[in-house]
A and B are shown apart, each in its own frame.
Chain A
């Protein structure tokens, strides 16, 4: 735990010297009193600043992920194990150059804990590591800044942003069951509506329902096909790598939503065919770190 003065402190020193000069020149006891009171106030506040963070404890979850351009929320468990109110905490991630993530916690009651969600804006896909959380406070009057560092080990995964409007790839292993050329959902029949989730393709939005004011609804197609879709990066045309990754992410999300088997083929490996949560997350992670293996922040 560190305690050091702030820039304001230096200005205060100048102010106090000026006050001392005036007090001496006018031999004015009132002026001396004001000066000494101010000096003592600063000394006393030093203890308060030190005590403030002394019983702070922070732990946090080890893995967080989000799509790029959305907000990543890192839940911190902030605990005050002391018996004093802890105030004006300033939480940030140490050596975090890429993202600006600083936040204020107004207070933590003595002997209690709270969960603070550190919101981190995401701008670039990839995998990041957070190794240290820094909590500082200028409480109570800002001339001293106490700082406490907490070693943590969090992996933040930022997936590529789902985007792109390339056509849905054809099933590579067509099923024997009935095919309808006119439907993009080969053979699946309409199974009802469900709510639109952000990040999903707008291809299946029921725009007619939307225009009737029912909100964004997705036409769900079920059954029939148990076909397997292949998302192959090398087979894609046009656009740079990032655009391709975005398109792939979009397809993966769509495939997961539609609950179909899919294969993700990247130049450095292939995943699947499979379906379900695990496969989905593994694919997204592979997309997040594609081409930047070992990169850490």
Chain B
């Protein structure tokens, strides 16, 4: 079986004082294959973070099933293995670092897993080097910038050597510099280590870097495909209250206002410039 995560008619409603809330997820069918780099896009309240919580058994389906590596997440005896297979990085870098020293924090998950001390040392050093934070290993986390803290959190995940990493808006609280640093590390997770990456985001320029984009809207999958196929559907995306990458937006505007009839699938600035150059000539 090539899917690492598979949901079937997944529904979820938050528990409230008077029973359940209105469903946040309304029958999601989704398959994530091994080694993929998937971006999950969606407006606030589209259910994208709730969906991410299911991949790691933080949330359990109120209806339907979620399989992680063929394990049913509803079965409590699977929870530990599910979390070993799929790790998670959260939005707020401050609220996911446990230890007072950087290297101790990276070691935290390994200590919980009962890995022998010598191997922990090695894996921690390797993980810190791969996110470029090795020189900071004896520092206190509160002295680091947001981007650096988030890289520490990712190093903690790399050290666990999971098969899949879910990142829930990891750049939402960072400045542009921090966002660049973190995205670079995220791409490496997938390219260099072959880890399946699921990136929850609402930044188009981040989603563009993925192999596959899933657009969530009102608790369901609206679009699912390669970035080029998705972002050219400008009107559908706008209905889902999402913007499109600026490169596509400018070409689309030219088509609508000037009847330019251009190809609008430019994902990078260079591609966009080439198309514009041809048009102007």
Q: Do A and B bind each other?
A: no
